[in-house]
Amino acid sequence: MRALFKLDSGRQIEIEEFFLRSTATGCIEGSPGSISKHVLEHLPKVIRTLFWDTKATLILKPAQEFLPAYTFIAHLQCMDCVPNGDSGYYSRLLVAWFHDDIRATPVRIAHRSLKKLDWDQHAENWID
């Protein structure tokens, strides 16, 4: 069974890989503000370590000062390429976001948080 969801733009997105962890993982102590700052500073390295280094990486920072309890990172792909990009067979994006609720399937979690994502602006075309 494929893990698919649709963006508000109509693009069909597939979750290729999905990673979840407590936002404070690796922080021994600190205030919520210092932990949030540390997590945001180190998240690009975490993403590169888990996946790979690419310009098509997006970190969605929440509006509130302190980060929610959980960090989600996903490798997403769409079978359609982005316009005005390099040639490719499909488009892909690494995206990280934060949320307090994990009581849903990965597809529902991703759709709830990413449905308004501007895929054409952030994704890259890719050839395997």
Give me the pLDDT at residue 84, please: 83
Give me the pLDDT at residue 30, please: 87
pLDDT, tens digit, for every residue of 104-114?
999 999 999 99
Over 46-71, what HEC string results? HHHHHCCCCCCEEECCCCCCCCCCEE
Model confidence pTM above 0.85: yes
Give me the pLDDT at residue 123, please: 97
In the chain, helix, strand, coil percent, each to 5? Answer: 25, 30, 45
Instruction: Indicate the domain borders of the chain.
Output: 4-126
Angle at CA 63, nearest 5°, toward 18 and 114? Answer: 35
Once rounded to an integer, what is the mean pLDDT over residues 11-27?
94
pLDDT, tens digit, for every residue of 48-91?
999 999 999 999 999 999 999 999 999 999 999 999 878 889 99
Q: Identify the H or E element spanning 110.
A: helix 106-114
Give me the pLDDT at residue 88, please: 87
Give me the pLDDT at residue 18, please: 96
Secondary structure class of 112 (helix, strand, coil)? helix
**Alpha-carbon distances, residue 56 vs 24, 30, 38, 64, 103 (angstroms):** 25, 31, 22, 24, 28
